[in-house]
Amino acid sequence: MMRRTPGILILLLLAVPALGQSLKGMRKEFARVGDNAVPATVVVKSTENSGPGGSTGVIIHPDGYVLSDADATIVMSRDAAGKVTKRHTVDAIIKLPAPDHRTFLAEVLKRDPETDTTLLRITDPVKKLPFVPLGTSDALKVGAFNITIGNAFGSGNEGEPALSLGCVSALIKRDALGGGKYQMIYTSAAVNPGSNGGPSLDAEGRLVGIVSTWERDPASPFRTLGKVTPIDLIRASFATLDCFAKVFPDPRMMKARSDEAAVLEDAFSIIARHTYPSVACIEVTRKEGTKLTKKIRNPLLGRVKGVPPFVEVPRYQGPYSGVVYAKDGLILTCSENLWAYASIESITVHLSDGRSLPGKVRARDGYRQFALIEVEANDLIPLPPATKKDLEVGRFALAIGNPFGDQPQEAPLFTFGVVSGVHRLSRDMDAIQTDAGLVDSMVGGALVTLSGKFLGLSLMTNPEYYGRNSGIGFAIPLSAMEKSLPQLLRGKDVMPGYLGIGMPITNERGQMVFSSVAPKGPAGKAGLKARDILLEVDGRKARHFKTVAEFIDYAKARGPGQTLRLKVSRGAGEAELEIILGSPPER
Amino acid sequence: MVKREFTPYHLAMPRLTKFATALLLFALIAAPTPTSAGDAGKGSASRFTEAELEVLEKAQKFERELVRVVEKVRPASVSIENWQKVGGVIRPRGQGSGVIISGKGYILTNQHVVQGAVEIWVSLYDHRRFKARLVGNDPRGDVALLKISGSRFKYKDPRRGRPDRLSAGEWVIATGNPFGLAGDGEPVVTFGVVSGLERILPGQFFYGDAIQHDAKINPGNSGGPLWDTNGNLLGINGKIATNNASGGGPSSSGAGYTIPIDQIRNFLDAMLAGRPVRHGDEILGIEQVKTHYDRDGTANGARVEKVRDASPAALARSGGVRVGDVVVKVVVNGKPYTIRTMTDFITRISPLAEGSRLSLVVVRGRKRVSIGNIVLEVKKEKKGRGKR
């Protein structure tokens, strides 16, 4: 046995470089960016802030010029009632990260609330500070790598700031002259409390913008993505300062990106651009008086005493995304985008070429959560479908959405991730799981492979359960949609069978117990009562359903009008019921 | 020899025949019409220019390499169920993840994943299920060692990972069971980069030196592995920072924390033997430190705030470590480390196991004092060691 070992070893050594050459090149790629930029990423606090918090800032000149956000040096005076009476800027404390740990005083040269930036200068005598070279935001492309570094969750106070890798998700064009091409960069890199004012870098490690905050507006199609002020806009805003020429030199050429990073981000941009024409923006107008909130379980329940069990939260009202299904005007979207279905007044479909067309719902599959919308067009461009071979855990999954309405941009809304898992949600949905960020406006959009093939239609995840932008996203593949597409094409809705019951619970003996039954619902009419214990379903023992969800799926898959035979135990006796499944009420 | 329990139990359930029938019926009703998906593939071949195709091909090569790493690590990643006795019946009460570190079925996970368990069930990537035994644990450090019986399990050698060589920006891969989505055993895969190192996370489960990364991990990923792009084990995921302002329940906001494997290695022998695990900071007896700032505000050491009586620190040479001493250097196993902050101090001391030797350099008043050869020994009479 022992004699064999060298042979195996040699084989292994030979095999390793051949296996992962590109990977090897990539492994340290962003570590190099970090090595340069992390020492120049500082904590910025007002001199009146003695707490642990603080914004982030970035040194952009070795003589101690620092860019940060507009709030970094703001102090608010409050009256006895806690109302803000005065806001004033004060000097700042700049703290270098570990292992340097030096602290300096700095003065505000200019604070610009418009771009949410402040330029500071360290007043203590310094030179040769580590700094981040400036890049240009005008050269950015959607899909390009984007790195944010910041004092997220206070990480920079004692140690190093936190670095996160994402990509440019959207570039919002600017109407005004001067100040570069873009008004705003949306990044998929992590932006958290404390990150504001930190650097946003390209793959070469150049500064392309200053992190403002993450998008918090529940009505925004970019909610949860990071907001970054483009560096070219910042340049314009500080152009009148005496030190401008010194502090804001022309963008530098850096050492070229490594082949691997360049290839990957270029591939992302290419796919984003090519997929854009196949992803439509869907605007839904609802009648006046439509309830625009939904009731959810209070997330504070059980954590804070005395809170109501349910709260009303605003619903995202669009714009949504859709994916071209057929050349002659058929577009797929997620049926969850068509909530309050009866109250929908009109649907407008915006295409990437600037056309806006009235849309009509052909039919919906409420069970598989997709719908078919038709528009008058015969030149739409469907995506090539992915096959089983394209679906592998660990492969890239690129999420493409179009929230741009009648203001088409150069590229779609884009995030990248990988295929995290397959065969999710239910057997019938066979959904693909991804960690690509699926923001609200991407629901109904496309998840595609690194060669631009259509993996699936992005679905709504339950944010109350899975959180927002938490890296848990699902898409339904074409193969699953095809099971009901013929019906939908004929204009026939496919709806899940509806029982009219609350979520059953499992009792201590592992049996399913009906917790609540709507008396006028299909199950209630058939005689099902709360506290009934499920014994048999269609002649099959109840324990064949591993989970409550499996039983519900089974009933849903049956469809309205179909019969479900249940045997339940009630008190000492038993009852047999025939439930004629109904259609779910519209939400 | 190897007992193969290939009964992926949910697949073996007879109810599926029914399910399949339902599907079949559905398929018959929904026979495809000529207008369906056929359109979808047309005109795809010539979408890209030659130059674009070249870029895509190179990128796909990189992708294939990533997939190969994922394939290598997935079989070692497991899902864990924590079964507890509720109302007289043993039922699943929580889920987590774990990683197999030897062919004999030793599994690392978080203590908080198996806390309070009456039974622990482990699901493998091939859907096999095993009842696991708790071999040993590090309750404060949030690590537990489990064992499932059998042999020739696919595993990842915990000695291969080098978290000490990581730097911010390196790619990492997380596998696990977020929200119970990998309940069948097939792990969920997410990617990210290292965000920062040497993080301290206080709490009942004290992380004295954690890796921070932005691979999306969520409730259920606890105890699951973090890998480098060579497929080596870097550590086990345990905590996340959540940004509740974005709404919804606790979930990832791009800040996940991993207990590094080199730290776990220090305690593996003790856990294997079922001995109680004590971290360096617990044994040493320096119970509270604060970052010491120079007059110009520069962090320059860790000021000792509290020393436990009769602890190795109190009994050390040079009159022992005293309150007010500012630790500026720690020498561990001959390697010197400069200490500028409380974080520096804790991240150096906390990962040390019983029996480690270290020396300190402290500033006491105006003098620098070397306190040599402190041995991290736990005194036999442990009665006095109460909860702090």
Chain B residues inside the 8 Å CB shell of A29: 169
DSSP string covering A158-224, please?
Answer: TSPPEEEEEEEEEEEE--SSSS-SEEEEEE-S---TT-TT-EEE-TTS-EEEEEEEE---TT-TTTT
Please check whether residue B255 touches A, CB under 8 A.
yes
Higher pLDDT, B383 or A540: A540
Chain B residues inside the 8 Å CB shell of A271: 56
Residues 42-81 on B with a CB inside 8 Å of A are 42-44, 47-48, 52, 55-56, 58-63, 65-71, 74
pLDDT digits (tens, 9 = 90+) for A4-15: 433 333 333 333
DSSP string covering B130-191, please?
Answer: EEEEEEEEETTTTEEEEE-S-S------TTS--GGG--TT-EEEEEE-GGGTTTTS--EEEE
3-state secondary structure A298-361: CCCECCECCCCCEEEEECCCCCEEEEEEECCCEEEEEHHHHCCHHHEEEEEEECCCCCEEEEEE
Rounded to an integer, the average pLDDT of B85-109 is 90
Are B94 and B82 in contact, with CB atoms under 8 Å apart?
Answer: yes
Amino acid at B371: I
pLDDT digits (tens, 9 = 90+) for B173-229: 999 999 889 888 899 999 999 999 999 998 889 999 999 999 999 889 999 999 999
Phi/psi for A144 (5° steps) reads -70, 150
Neighbours of A350 (CB within 10 A): 23
Q: Fill in the DSSP letter of residue B14.
A: T
What local confidence, expressed as pLDDT, does residue A506 receive?
A: 78
pLDDT at B246 over 50: no
Amino acid at A204: E
d(CA A560, CA B18): 18
Q: Inter-chain contact B246–A216, Cβ cutoff 8 Å?
A: yes
3-state secondary structure A527-548: CCCCCCEEEEECCEEHHHCCCH
Which residues does B387 contact at the CB level (< 8 Å), separation at least 6? none
Phi/psi for B294 (5° steps) reads -70, 175
pLDDT digits (tens, 9 = 90+) for B119-147: 999 999 999 999 999 999 999 999 999 99
d(CA B144, CA B108): 6
Residue of B nearest to A559 (CA): B26
Chain B residues inside the 8 Å CB shell of A419: 189
pLDDT at B168 over 70: yes
pLDDT at B39 over 80: no
Q: Is A11 exposed, middle or buried (0-12, 13-18, 19+ CB in 10 A)?
A: exposed
Helices and strands (DSSP H and E) totals, chain B:
6, 18
What is the gyration radius of the CA atoms in chain B, in angstroms? 26
Which residue out of A420, A457, A540 would a mutagenesis test of the B interface target, given it has the greatest number of B Cβ atoms within 10 Å?
Answer: A420
pLDDT at B339 over 70: yes
CA distance A486 to chain B (A): 6
What local confidence, expressed as pLDDT, does residue A177 receive?
A: 82
pLDDT at A73 over 90: no
Are B325 and B290 in contact, with CB atoms under 8 Å apart?
Answer: no
Instruction: Tell which residue, A272, A330, A30, has the closest CA to residue A166.
Output: A30
d(CA B160, CA B69): 15
Quote the distance between the C-alpha of residue A261 and its chain's center.
Answer: 22
Q: Inter-chain contact A103–B71, Cβ cutoff 8 Å?
A: no
Look at the alpha carbons of B50, B55, B59, B61 in this order and tell me if their dihedral is positive or negative: positive
Residues 77-106 on A with a CB inside 8 Å of B are 93, 98-99, 101-103
Neighbours of A27 (CB within 10 A): 17
d(CA A441, CA A460): 10
d(CA A171, CA A202): 14
d(CA A214, CA A223): 8
Amino acid at A582: G
What local confidence, expressed as pLDDT, does residue B46 receive?
A: 55
Q: Inter-chain contact B251–A435, Cβ cutoff 8 Å?
A: no
| Percent of chain A topping pLDDT 70 | 93
d(CA A267, CA A269): 5
Higher pLDDT, A308 or A435: A435
Q: Inter-chain contact A418–B182, Cβ cutoff 8 Å?
A: no
Which residue out of B63, B291, B294 would a mutagenesis test of the A interface target, given it has the greatest number of A Cβ atoms within 10 Å?
Answer: B63
Angle at which helices A29-37 and A259-275 cross, to 10° = 100
d(CA B336, CA B108): 30
Q: Which helix (H) or strand (E) holds B133?
A: strand B129-138
Was domain B280-375 assigned CATH 2.90.10.10?
no
Would you say the ipTM is above 0.85?
A: yes
What local confidence, expressed as pLDDT, does residue B51 receive?
A: 92
Q: Inter-chain contact A299–B248, Cβ cutoff 8 Å?
A: yes
pLDDT at A466 over 90: no
Q: Inter-chain contact B196–A510, Cβ cutoff 8 Å?
A: no
Residue of B nearest to A387 (CA): B41
What local confidence, expressed as pLDDT, does residue A50 receive?
A: 66
Are B210 and B260 in contact, with CB atoms under 8 Å apart?
Answer: yes
What local confidence, expressed as pLDDT, does residue A21 receive?
A: 67
- For A420, the closest of B13, B91, B188 (CB atoms) is B188
Rounded to an integer, the average pLDDT of A90-109 is 89
Residue of A nearest to B86 (CA): A508
Higher pLDDT, A522 or A298: A522
Instruction: Tell which residue, A122, A116, A146, A129, has the closest CA to residue A210.
Output: A116
- For B341, the closest of A20, A101, A393 (CB atoms) is A101
Residues 460-519 on A with a CB inside 8 Å of B are 463-472, 478, 482-487, 489-490, 506, 508-510
d(CA A11, CA A7): 6
Chain B residues inside the 8 Å CB shell of A508: 86-89, 91
What local confidence, expressed as pLDDT, does residue A52 receive?
A: 67
pLDDT digits (tens, 9 = 90+) for A540-572: 888 888 778 888 888 888 888 889 999 999 988
How many residues would you count in chain B?
A: 388
Was domain B61-241+251-276 assigned CATH 2.40.10.120?
yes
Q: Fill in the DSSP letter of residue B43.
A: T
pLDDT digits (tens, 9 = 90+) for B261-300: 999 999 999 999 999 999 999 999 999 999 999 888 888 8
Angle at which helices A259-275 and B50-73 cross, to 10° = 110
Catalytic residues of B: 112, 142, 222
In whole numbers, what is the pLDDT of chain A averaged over residues? 88
Q: Inter-chain contact B249–A465, Cβ cutoff 8 Å?
A: yes
Q: Which helix (H) or strand (E) holds A480?
A: helix A478-481
| Percent of chain A topping pLDDT 90 | 59
Q: Residue ranges per domain, chain B?
A: 61-241+251-276, 280-375
What local confidence, expressed as pLDDT, does residue B77 receive?
A: 97
Rounded to an integer, the average pLDDT of A129-134 is 94
Neighbours of A499 (CB within 10 A): 27
- Calculated CA dihedral for residues A453, A454, A460, A465, nearest 10 degrees: -50
How many residues would you count in chain A?
A: 587
- The domains located in chain A, with CATH, are 37-122 (2.40.10.10), 133-241 (2.40.10.10), 277-489 (2.40.10.120), 505-580 (2.30.42.10)
Residue of B nearest to A471 (CA): B216
d(CA A456, CA A397): 10
pLDDT at A86 over 70: no
pLDDT digits (tens, 9 = 90+) for A489-544: 999 999 888 888 888 887 777 788 898 888 888 999 999 998 899 999 998 888 88
Q: Fill in the DSSP letter of residue A582.
A: B
- For A158, the closest of B27, B169, B291 (CB atoms) is B291
Q: Bridge-partner residues for A291, per DSSP?
A: none
Residues 144-163 on B with a CB inside 8 Å of A are none
Question: Are B61-241+251-276 and B280-375 in the same CATH fold?
Answer: no
CA distance A236 to chain B (A): 31
- For A270, the closest of B13, B52, B297 (CB atoms) is B52
pLDDT at A363 over 50: yes
